[in-house]
Amino acid sequence: MDQMVRTVGVEEEFLLVDRHTRQPVPRALEVLARARPLLGDLVQSEFYSCVVETCTRPTPSLADLREQLFLLRSHMASAAREAGCLLLASGTPIIPPTSPIPVTDKLRYLRMQAHCRGVVDGVEGIACGCHVHVGTHDKSEAVALSGHVRPWLPTLQALAANSPFGGARDSGFASRRSVEFERWPSVGPSPLLDRTGYEATLDALIDSGVVLDRRSLYWYSRPSEHVPTLEIRVADVNADLHSTVLLAAIVRGLCAALLADVRDERPPPPVADSQLRTAHRCAARAGVTGFLPDPLTDRLVPARWLVGKLLVRAAPGLAAAGDLPTVLSLLARHLSLGTGADRQRAWYRHAGQLRDVVDATARLTVSRTGV
């Protein structure tokens, strides 16, 4: 086990919805102008002009991570209120816009729109994720770790499901965001590569026009292009702050545990991309309810059994960082309350109005206690 506690950082994408209609509204630049005097480069625009992103600073401490996440959410929610908006942590809009949301007026985003017009035009496609970064020594280590972590990502995706609604109705998926995200080029499991193979593959994707640039590679696990981290990109943004901390802790613990295999040059599990894609699609539909295929055996098993298996695999890394008691407590709470998707559906069953689901989600987004 690597005795150094790796840093962890989180990027969260949030919807801005009008306080009266509860529909997404293109006010990101106005909200960011209000937030940046205090938050600076920790907040930024996203592809759609109804979405803002916050970025924590890397930290070895889960307590510090939780505090950063809470403060970022609080300040962004305050800026949103001043612009007549609610800050909403939901993987997809609960109430969709009545007309297409403009793309943010930046050259790169406009190029992306032209490149993928069939994906981005219309009122569907708005999606908000949560990306976890774990510190690595260098890009070579991140590429190697990416191959080892990929069989565990469908289970993480299932735990983080928080987008059951699409088109103003229950989509039948716990993570509708995952389905929308899959429409983009290059989205999917990372191939099994070494550093040389990674660079050659990325260059080929850019040269062929499949992706526009190095930042447009959307594999579920990828080395960052600007900081020495491995980035995990399978989670919906979650309204419950504790769910985000839980996800980040498990990702870091899992990576720390798997680094022993990387250092010993043991090959990653030879799981076919087709098996992983099936597992990800099942995770998007079921969340942690029902059954999922175990990518390592291809057997259909209860989703919660896979969560337990994931925890066992991550346990050495969690223990080394002192996170295991916290994660056991947070996971028990998460499974008892249900995923974000479970909670959105429960609010809808209770109230019968999507507006009430928006309001409950917005309140939870800025809650320190998670209730």
Which CATH code is given to the segment(s) 8-365? 3.30.590.20
Q: What is the pTM of this model?
A: 0.97
The 10 Å Cβ neighbour count of residue 323 is: 26
**Per-residue pLDDT at 120 exceeds 80:** no
Give the integer Cα–Cα distance in Å for 196 and 257.
24
- For residue 322, the tally of other CB atoms under 10 A from its CB is 12
Per-residue confidence (pLDDT) for residue 1, from 0 to 100: 45
* pLDDT one-digit tens code per residue, 10-35: 999 999 999 999 999 999 999 999 99
Percent of the chain with pLDDT over 70: 98
Of 249 and 114, which is predicted with more confidence? 249
The structural domains of the chain, with segments of one domain joined by +, span 8-365
pLDDT tens per residue across span 202-211:
999 999 999 9
CB 237 within 8 A of CB 129: yes
Q: Contact, 94 vs 171, CB < 8 A?
A: no
What Rg, from alpha-carbon coordinates, does the chain have?
A: 19
Mark out the alpha helices in the chain (DSSP H runs): 28-39, 62-82, 107-115, 117-120, 139-149, 153-159, 176-181, 195-208, 241-263, 273-286, 303-320, 324-337, 340-351, 354-365
- Cβ atoms 98, 26 nearer than 8 A: no
Q: Angle at CA 20, nearest 5°, toward 16 and 22?
A: 45
At 125 the pLDDT is: 87
- On average, the pLDDT of the chain sits at 95
Whole-number pLDDT of residue 121: 67
Q: What pLDDT score was predicted for residue 122?
A: 62
Q: Predicted confidence band at 229 (pLDDT cuts at 50, 70, 90)?
A: very high
For 45-49, 88-92, 182-186, 363-367, which range has the lowest pLDDT when averaged over its residues? 182-186
Query: Does the pLDDT at position 104 exceed 90?
Result: yes
According to the 3-state scheme, what is the secondary structure of 50-113? Answer: CEEEEECCCECCHHHHHHHHHHHHHHHHHHHHHCCEEEECCCCCCCCCCCCCCECCCHHHHHHH
Residue 24 Cα distances to 27, 199, 207, angstroms: 9, 38, 35
Q: What is the mean pLDDT of residues 288-316?
A: 95
Q: Provide mean pLDDT across the span 265-292.
A: 95
- Residue 143: band (very low, low, confident or very high) from pLDDT cuts 50, 70, 90: very high
Predicted confidence at residue 82, as pLDDT, reads 98
Q: Is the pLDDT of residue 151 over 50?
A: yes
pLDDT at 83: 98
Please count the CA atoms within 13 angstroms of the CA of 110 that sit on its side-chain side: 3
Residues 126-137: tens digit of each pLDDT:
999 999 999 999
For the residues 262-273, what does the mean pLDDT come to?
Answer: 94
